[in-house]
Amino acid sequence: MPYLTNEEYNKLGFTELNDTEFKKLLPKATAILDNITSHFYVRHDMEEDGEWRVRQFKLALCSQIEYFNVLGATTSEEINSSPHSFTAGRTSVSNSSRYNTSGENEKKPLVAEDVYIYLDGTGLLYSGVAIW
């Protein structure tokens, strides 16, 4: 069962998506959230967890879906394949870099930075060693 429905996504105030767009972006966004939360909701029932933490997780998932939608990409390769600069005749256009003035070695992350805003303080970002 998916963590989120398109109806929930739209109600939470993010950019509205039709069902086709949402279903296309949800699996990859879910995989990203599962990865950074150490698959917490794969191992624990979301229905039995605290309402606040579940809401924060769903907001983080919405944020990741919106990030993919805005970029129009869901893989690291697609996100980072746009050229940093190009020239047409005597006109040159460069995408500015916030890390390096030349734009080299800069990559956009696969995970939306806003995801961490929602997950901070939930315990879902715990990266210690688990005892199974």
Task: Report pLDDT digits (tens) over 56-80.
Answer: 999 999 999 999 998 887 877 777 6
Best CA proximity match to 85, nearest among 100, 77, 95: 95
Instruction: Report residue 54's pLDDT band, with 50, 70 and 90 as the boundaries.
Output: very high
Q: What is the rounded average pLDDT of the residues 12-33?
A: 94
User: In whole angstroms, what is the distance from residue 57 CA to residue 37 CA?
Assistant: 9
What tens digit of pLDDT does each residue of 90-100 get?
887 766 555 55
User: In whole angstroms, what is the distance from residue 3 CA to residue 26 CA?
Assistant: 9
Residue appearing with tokens 């879902």 = 124
26 and 4 Cβ atoms separated by less than 8 Å:
yes
For the entire predicted model, the pTM comes to: 0.79
Give 95's strand partners: none
